[in-house]
Structure 1
Amino acid sequence: MSIGIIENQIGRFLASEAPEVMSIKGAWGVGKTYAWNKYLANAKNQKKIALKKYSYVSLFGINSLEDLKFSIFENMVDEKSIGRRPTVESFKASTAELLKTLGKRSFSIIPSNPTMIHYHSMIESLSFLSLEKTIICIDDFERKGHNIEAQDILGLMTQLKEQKKCKVVLILNDESLSEGSSVDYIKLREKVIDTELRFAPTAEDCVEIVLTGNKIEQQLGEHIIKLGINNIRIIKKIEKLSALLVPLLKSYEDPVLSQALRTVTLLTWCYYGQGNDTPDYNFVSSRNSAFSDLDDEIVLSTQQQIWCSILRNYDNYAVDEFDQQIARLVENGYVDEVRFLEEAAVLNEKVLAAYSENSFKEAWKKFNESFDADDQEVISCLSASFKHNAKYISPVNLDGTVRLLRYLGKEPL
């Protein structure tokens, strides 16, 4: 199912008041929650959300239906606050609305000498009453506590839809469900789930969802697409780590930054990736020759041959000392600035040398294509390039140029 269809389905879901249960399922890290939050925010900004209350709950660590019900209540915010974390103030507002709904009946429930424990117990018991016409997102179904059954959660979702007129979205990694939860989900989804979406974005989809399109992110996006990375969690890590490198490389030539972005993309993917075809991090970070796999004395497994194929398609990637410093960043989460900048300076010198060599070759080309060996403009161009690039020109080219200028009687140059 394409991302466009997913976005349209979520938009339809949010724009309607009709009670409904939707599930969004997909593999680890593909960005199910990220996409839901983005499309929810877009709908809010476009004023296309029909219901006026929203609650987001992660099932991680929740061990009872009572805990789940209260968690939904305490995380409830109004439509205008979607995208912000629930606060004490939002909880007070929900509690006040609950007491207002109960009216005079609430006084008969409050003990004659209430304590904070009494108030908390009362609110916890009554909180479910206020969950009417609310958009509820229940996330991390596969990470629920051991003491709460999957079928009970699905039953609560049905109750929220049918009795409370709520719209419920369930987000889950169906590949990581326990055997019991998977059986319950498959058995009950026909009765509980109205719309079931498979979220499986391509690398291009992920780049469009996550990256904003500035110059740096365009480069990252190209590398991500080339490697086929469709895991938004990993892409966010790439984005975060690259943000640590960019300010340090402002004074260096563009190819230095380009190599940094290319390397941090690959190594981060290899370090955090869980796919079968994701190259092994140690294998990649120790590959210091682009042609090492062509050595007849090295026997590679089928899997390693696949990894080598990926690296060959990635500009025949091999690490150097500069890349090794980026590897330390990926592993440790911080930059050793002294060592990193030392290697960046070395790489920068190589880039300048390459520039100079190319510039000098262009001057030679101009001379070779000239019909007049005594053309002063051509000779001046060659001489100027020689002087400007002498530091980087190879000894062979230096010697050849000096001999040529002497031959032409231009020794004073």
Structure 2
Amino acid sequence: MKDTGAKNRTGDVSVGEHFDIEVPDTAHQISSDSWFQVAFVLTTGINNAYVLGYSGTVMVPLGWVGGVVGLVLATAISLYANALVAKLHEFGGKRHIRYRDLAGFIYGRKAYCLTWGLQYVNLFMINCGFIILAGSALKAVYVLFRDDHAMKLPHFISIAGLFCAVFAIGVPHLSALGIWLVVSTIFSLIFIVVAVVLAVKDGVKTHSRDYEIQGSPLSKLFTITAAAANLTFVFNTGMLPEIQATVRQPVVKNMMKALYFQFTIGVLPMLAVTFIGYWAYGSSTSTYLLNSVTGPLWVKALANISAFLQSVICLHIFASPTYEYMDTKFGITGSTLALKNLTFRIMARGGYLAVSTLLSALLPFLGDFMSFTGAVSTIPLTFILANHMYYKAKDNKLNPMQKIWHWLNVVLFSLMSFAAAIAAVRLISVDSKNFHVFADL
């Protein structure tokens, strides 16, 4: 279908001027999932293996006051920003099932292309991060039983990439996750509960801990800036319209239920493991909490294997917009087991994940680059664009104070994005001197 949008008025604002590109229907399912299933998709995105790093990457640089206040504020602000995007899903008398479609409808062709580019770079880097996480979890299991360095991190990253490819080939679209969301939740609870219980055990035994923020004043400035930027990454996917496309009618009402679930019950496991991990080990907390805890080998192995398997499932969520684009572009519809469809998924998704795995193994300190892409994509997509889109779409319905509020958000998060990008570039420069390609971290 083609939507020129010229001179189209919604009653709120003139939108989509010069938007003369094709907006295709999707080859994937839409409007098929309950709000509860969508809530578990969102919650899975929060309580993934990344949570095992927040004690070290968020709390250590920010300390108790900055970390707790920052996470609480990030929760509230993220819920607000995501709600703005969710409420625009049916804006202008049509449903926008992709982030780029919504941006293009409101702003035009240039915004469509820019949003598309930012989103896919962001999701690609997140996917690489999950492959590195999965590989690191596998390596942690190996080291528990055989610390002979015969196998190195790039080997485990390759194994993780293979598992991700097999899963991607077998699960055709986001709505097909179904029972896998339950499995993912079980895996999340396993590694979170293990990390919390072992951290509490260690914390009780330790009578003194150092919570002081380490480093020189300049170093603190950069690490605090990077940690503040990481707070925006904790809760946000940059693909809310794509997730919302799967929910049943009424779309906005059901999506708001899912978001309220995500930002209340859904955040509790993540907050628990983050705060307890920092309480137990203070400023010496590892950036992968399971490396800090002590306990039975089989328990730590179980937690790491759960983190590995949950990362494989969670990657599929963040890769789904890419899969949707490829399937829609080449008309992959019908039975998922049809030879043509199965062959296409093997070639297209296998190729995509092969490139992701190669880059992950090549640059295992990719987290630094993820910080940069988060600064230039996650923050703009989730906060800057969300506030400005809502302001532009609802211009005639907003009072002066509401308009000022949205502009303040745009300016504030633009400054944060700029500062976070500078901090990330510095981090890349420092780590590039310390690490080499295919490094065994």
Say which one has the larger Rg: 1
TM over 0.5: no
Given the two structures, how large is their TM-score scaled by the length of structure 2? 0.20
Instruction: Return the structure number with greater helix share.
Output: 2
Relative CO higher for 1 or 2, CA cutoff 8 Å, sep ≥ 6? Answer: 2
Question: Which one has a larger percent strand, Structure 1 or Structure 2?
Answer: 1
